[in-house]
Chains A and B, each alone.
Chain A
Amino acid sequence: MDLPEYYEFCCRVKIIAGHDALERIPGALASLNARKPMVVTDRGVSGAGLIDIVTDAIKGGVVIGAIADDVPPDSDLRVVNRLANAYREQGCDSLIAVGGGSVMDTAKGVNIVVSEKADDLMKFSGANALKKALKPLVAIPTTAGTGSEVTLVAVIKDHEKHRKMAFVSYFLLPDVSIIDPRMTLTLPPAITAATGMDALSHAVEAYTCLAKNPLSDAHALAAIDLISANLVNVTKNPGDRNGRLAMANAATLAGMAFSNSMVGMVHTIGHSVGSVCGVPHGACMAIVLPYGLEYNKHKNGHLSAELLLPLAGAKAYAETPKNERTEKVIALIRQMNQELHDATGGRHARFFNEVTDREGRPMLPEAKLPDIARAALSDGSIFYNPEELDYDDFLMVLEAAWEGKPLDKSRIKKG
Chain B
Amino acid sequence: MSSVPRVEPPPRATPGRRLSSFFHRHPFGRAASLLAAPIGWLVVVYLGSLVLLLMAAFWETEPFTNDVVRNWNLDNFRRLLEQDVYRDVALRTITMAGLVTIADAVLAFPIAYYMARVARPRTREILVVAILTPLWASYLVKAFAWNAMLGNDGFIGWLLEPFGIGPPGDSVGLWLTFTYFWLPFMILPVFTGLERIPNSLLEASGDLGARSLRTFWKVTLPLAFPAVVAGSIFTFSLTLGDFILPTLIANEQFIGTVIYNERSAGLPLAAAFAMVPIIVMTVYLVVARRLGAFRAL
Q: Do A and B associate with each other? A: no
A residues contacting B by CB (< 8 A) are none
B residues contacting A by CB (< 8 A) are none
